[in-house]
Amino acid sequence: MKRWLLGIALSLAAAGAMAQTIVDVDFVKQAMARGALIWDARDEAAFAKGHIPGAVNIGDPTLTLRDAQTEDYLPTTDIEKLLGAAGIDPAREIIVYGDRGLPSVYFGQLTLRYFGAKNARVFHDGIEGWRAAGQPVATAPVKPKAVTLKLAPQPGVLVMSREVVAALKRPDVQFLDVRTVKEFKGDDVRAIRGGHIPAALNVPFEQNWVDPDTRSKLRAGTVKDSAGMALKPRAELAKVYEKLDAAKEIIVYCQSGNRAAQSAAVLAELGYKNVKVYDSSWLGYSSWLSAPAEDEVWTNFGSLPATIKGLENRFGELERAATKAR
């Protein structure tokens, strides 16, 4: 009887661990002990300066796995080769990490889920959290064990533009825009059109962090580390998203699907069951010219040459000033 009860307890504990999307240092250590693959989702230069021992790297996945122009996924056969060469098999247990709060880490985990992973998680605090916990860091190159992959996109993870346009008429769908307030309102236009999907709720993805202004503070030099990019406690995160209806399908989008991946994972962690990421996000939606938008602003392409010329002139002035200062 005791053995039976112990078996049930262990099964329940395993099920709880499987449901966890975002993990901490202790979880990573335990995963490594049982043979999990650790995927470092930073660029190659950052990886070379120090990484979790045994971690594999293919550079920033938002660059290596996507077309540079459209920011859509490369053909699946290309992704099979890139992931396979690094031994990144979605069938394995995988922990993805990078710098603390880095959206591309979540994009890596989203990619794994899209290609069938059932056991892929994110270590949000990343290399900073690993170092702060006194864990060892390696700099030696890692030689991964390559695998041959045959990947198939899975339904229910990503949505495409035609599905998004069709969903505009559905009362059981809500849209979450995780771009900045300026992008949402059309004050910062980064595509053919500015604005947002009608009736979308705007919650910038930085609101997931203890201090949403940490990145700007780091650039300004007013803080010295990324501690503010740690995730808020669960209760505070629940308040951030309290306007969402958990009974509805939630489609999360940003500019190209990168930032959206983080907020979608946070929602999953909070227990939202039907969360999808709009793969092309605003880049794709804005180019669907008949799709309606609120706060719509059109890009003035005719002014771009003059803008570029002005930037070139300004750069030349700064370069000359720097030369004089030396």
Bridge-based pairing of strands 173-177 and 249-253 is parallel
Q: How long a stretch of residues is the chain?
A: 326
By C-alpha distance, which of 84, 100, 97 is closest to 53? 97
Residue 23 forms beta bridges with which residues? 123
Residues 175 and 270 in one domain: yes
By C-alpha distance, which of 186, 187, 181 is closest to 206? 181
Domain C-terminal end among 132, 167, 185 = 132
CA dist 85 → 16, 81, 90, 164, 323 (Å) = 32, 6, 13, 34, 45
In this structure, how many other beta carbons lie within 10 angstroms of the beta carbon of residue 122?
Answer: 27
Residue 9 confidence (pLDDT)? 35
Cα separation, 28 vs 289, whole angstroms:
45
Residue 20 confidence (pLDDT)? 87
Residue 299 confidence (pLDDT)? 81
Q: In what order do the strands lie in the sheet with 22-23?
A: 22-23, 120-123, 94-97, 37-40, 56-57
Residues 164 and 297 in one domain: yes
Residues 94 and 179 in one domain: no
Q: Would you say residue 277 lies in a domain? A: yes
What CATH number does residue 65 fall under? 3.40.250.10
Q: In what order do the strands lie in the sheet with 158-159?
A: 158-159, 275-278, 249-253, 173-177, 201-202
Write the burial class of residue 291 (CB in 10 Å: 0-12 exposed, 13-18 middle, 19+ buried): middle
Asked if 149 contacts 89 with a C-beta cutoff of 8 angstroms, the reply is yes
Residues 163 and 128 in one domain: no
Residue 109 confidence (pLDDT)? 98
Q: Would you say residue 51 lies in a domain? A: yes
Asked if 76 contacts 102 with a C-beta cutoff of 8 angstroms, the reply is no
The parent domain of residue 260 ranges over: 158-203+241-302
Q: What is the pLDDT along the chain (326 residues), one digit of tens a residue?
A: 444 333 333 333 333 444 589 999 999 999 999 999 999 999 999 999 999 999 999 999 999 999 988 889 999 999 999 999 999 999 999 999 999 999 999 999 999 999 999 999 999 999 999 999 999 999 998 899 999 999 999 999 999 999 999 999 999 999 999 999 999 999 999 999 999 999 999 999 999 999 999 999 999 999 999 999 999 999 999 999 999 999 999 999 999 999 999 999 999 999 999 999 999 999 999 999 999 999 999 986 555 455 455 545 555 555 565 556 65
- Evaluated on CA atoms 206, 208, 213, 216, the torsion sign reads negative
Instruction: Give buried/exposed letters for 127-138 (b at 16+ CB in 10 A, else e).
Output: bbbbeeeeeeee
Residues 62 and 167 in one domain: no
Q: Would you say residue 271 lies in a domain? A: yes
Residue 69 confidence (pLDDT)? 86
Residue 321 confidence (pLDDT)? 59
Residues 89 and 199 in one domain: no
Residues 78 and 121 in one domain: yes
Q: Would you say residue 152 lies in a domain? A: no
Q: Would you say residue 258 lies in a domain? A: yes
Residue 317 confidence (pLDDT)? 54
Residues 165 and 126 in one domain: no
Q: Would you say residue 188 lies in a domain? A: yes
Residue 301 confidence (pLDDT)? 56
Residues 106 and 44 in one domain: yes
Residue 137: which region, alpha, beta or left (left: phi > 0; alpha: psi -120 to 50)? beta
Q: Would you say residue 261 lies in a domain? A: yes
Cα separation, 55 vs 60, whole angstroms:
14
Domain C-terminal end among 117, 132, 147 = 132
Residues 89 and 198 in one domain: no
Q: Would you say residue 140 lies in a domain? A: no
- 8-state DSSP, 86: T
Residues 166 and 279 in one domain: yes
Residues 127 and 173 in one domain: no
SS3 content of the chain, % helix, strand, coil (to 5): 45, 15, 40
Domain count along the chain: 2
Residue 314 confidence (pLDDT)? 58
